């Protein structure tokens, strides 16, 4: 499925336009740090929008599965906050942008904490807080939460998981450094296994849109009605995504696009418009900062056209988009959940 879905609606037309404008952009390179990621089809491009009322709009390849990679980080952080509360999690994981690469082996020198939950160190620390009597139960708890946020049962890409495990010595070094400073407790191999598994969960652009809408909807999946995350943690998760979610482009992203977002090396981007929308984009070619080239263009375009930036003059309240979506009524596609 590589032709855009031209639903005759305002949002549908904008997605169609974004697809048309950007699907031939050929800049960037597919991640190859493990061979499996290098096998992705660089032509794939999909964008999906899901409202908190459950309306879905999409264009392009929204059914193609890819590994979620670092887009798992906000969800594992949300799990930690839901299970342990803000104060405990804050004692282990900071909230400052790091200014270093996402996989750097560096902790805050004053506190010994990882800088934030969107870099590998922070995500490994969050993984150490997942609850369960053994690693199998914790892995299932993680998969169950991701599935509940997506509204369908997700699964692992076993060969990506194997490769992440085989090549993950940098992440091992980060984990042992945190163990040394008492930032994580327990069995390091098991914690890393949870981290490698969370990176290897298969999703589609549509899944990302639903997962984003679950955050936008204050932790409740708008399609299933299931409450996945404690409402009080959403503010914390979105704040850290807003300041740290797009690698070394996070400041410029906040400036130009202005929505909490997270990207991953497989080419996914998840965006959240508070109380309104989840946005999922997928295209595997990455720019020099590790963000999907077409995905960045598509979300920037949507933000500009719909006035989604948190501080845009048109964005005057939590339901400023409602009128547009109401006028779209009936034109949304039925998501395959």
Of 9, 51, 70, 315, which one interacts with ligand GLN (CB under 6 A)? 70
- Closest Cα partner for 244 from 51, 114, 336? 114
Write the binding mask 147 to 186 for ligand GLN: x where contact by CB under 6 A, - elsewhere: -----------------x------x---------------
| Residues 122 to 141 in contact with ligand GLN, rule: CB under 6 A | none
Asked if 70 is an active-site residue, the reply is yes
The nearest distance, CB 181 to ligand GLN, in angstroms, is 20
The nearest distance, CB 161 to ligand GLN, in angstroms, is 10
**Measured distance CA(214)–CA(272) in Å, rounded:** 9
Cβ atoms of 2 and 61 closer than 8 Å: yes
**Measured distance CA(233)–CA(25) in Å, rounded:** 37
In the set 70, 98, 147, 303, the catalytic residue is 70
| Residues 254 to 283 in contact with ligand GLN, rule: CB under 6 A | 264-265
Cβ atoms of 53 and 222 closer than 8 Å: yes
- Cα angle for residues 265, 169, 28 (degrees, 5° grid): 20
Write the binding mask 186 to 225 for ligand GLN: x where contact by CB under 6 A, - elsewhere: -------------x--------------------------
Of 6, 42, 65, 103, which one interacts with ligand GLN (CB under 6 A)? 103
Residue 63: exposed, middle, or buried by beta-carbon count in 10 A (0-12, 13-18, 19+)? middle
In the set 49, 57, 59, 73, the catalytic residue is 73
Coil/strand/helix, residue 273? strand
Asked if 89 is an active-site residue, the reply is no
The encoded tokens of residue 280 equal 């999922």
Residue 277's DSSP bridge partners are: 51, 273
The nearest distance, CB 70 to ligand GLN, in angstroms, is 3
The encoded tokens of residue 162 equal 């194997």
Is residue 120 part of the contact set for ligand GLN (CB under 6 A)? yes
Select 100 or 326, whichever has its Cβ closest to ligand GLN.
100
**Measured distance CA(204)–CA(334) in Å, rounded:** 15
Separation of CA 311 from chain center: 22
In the set 195, 249, 282, 301, the catalytic residue is 195
Asked if 237 is an active-site residue, the reply is no
Is residue 69 part of the contact set for ligand GLN (CB under 6 A)? yes
**Measured distance CA(268)–CA(264) in Å, rounded:** 5
Residues catalogued as catalytic: 70, 73, 195, 247, 265
Please give the residue ranges that form the binding site for ligand GLN (CB under 6 A): 69-70, 102-103, 120, 164, 171, 199, 264-265
């Amino acid at each position: 499925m590589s032709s855009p879905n031209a639903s005759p609606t305002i949002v549908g037309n904008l997605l169609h336009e974004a697809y048309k404008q950007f699907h031939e952009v050929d800049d960037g390179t597919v991640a190859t740090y493990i061979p499996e990621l290098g096998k992705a089809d660089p032509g794939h491009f999909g964008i999906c929008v899901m409202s908190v009322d459950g309306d879905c709009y999409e264009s392009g390849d929204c059914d193609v599965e890819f590994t979620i990679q670092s887009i798992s980080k906000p969800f594992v952080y949300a799990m930690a906050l839901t299970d342990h509360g803000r104060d405990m999690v804050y004692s282990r994981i900071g909230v400052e942008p790091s200014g270093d690469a996402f996989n750097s082996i560096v902790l805050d020198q004053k506190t010994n904490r990882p800088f934030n939950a969107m870099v590998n160190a922070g995500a490994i620390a969050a993984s150490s807080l997942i609850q369960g009597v053994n690693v199998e139960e914790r892995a299932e708890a993680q998969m169950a939460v991701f599935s509940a946020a997506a509204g369908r049962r997700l699964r692992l890409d076993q060969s990506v998981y194997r490769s992440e495990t085989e090549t993950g010595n940098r992440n091992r070094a980060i984990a042992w450094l945190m163990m040394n400073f008492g930032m994580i407790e327990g069995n390091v191999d098991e914690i890393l296994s949870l981290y490698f598994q969370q990176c290897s969960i298969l999703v589609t652009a549509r899944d990302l849109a639903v997962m984003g809408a679950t955050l936008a909807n204050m932790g409740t999946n708008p399609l299933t009605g299931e409450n996945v995350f404690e409402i009080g943690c959403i503010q914390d998760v979105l704040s850290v995504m807003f300041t740290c979610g797009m690698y070394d482009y996070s400041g410029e992203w906040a400036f130009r696009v202005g929505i909490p977002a997270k990207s991953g090396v497989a080419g996914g981007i998840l965006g959240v418009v508070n109380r309104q929308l989840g946005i999922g984009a997928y295209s595997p070619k990455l720019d020099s900062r590790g963000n999907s080239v077409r995905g960045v263009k598509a979300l920037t375009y949507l933000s500009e056209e719909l006035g989604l930036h948190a501080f845009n003059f048109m964005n005057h309240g939590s339901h400023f988009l409602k009128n547009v979506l109401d006028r779209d009524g009936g034109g949304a596609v039925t998501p395959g959940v």
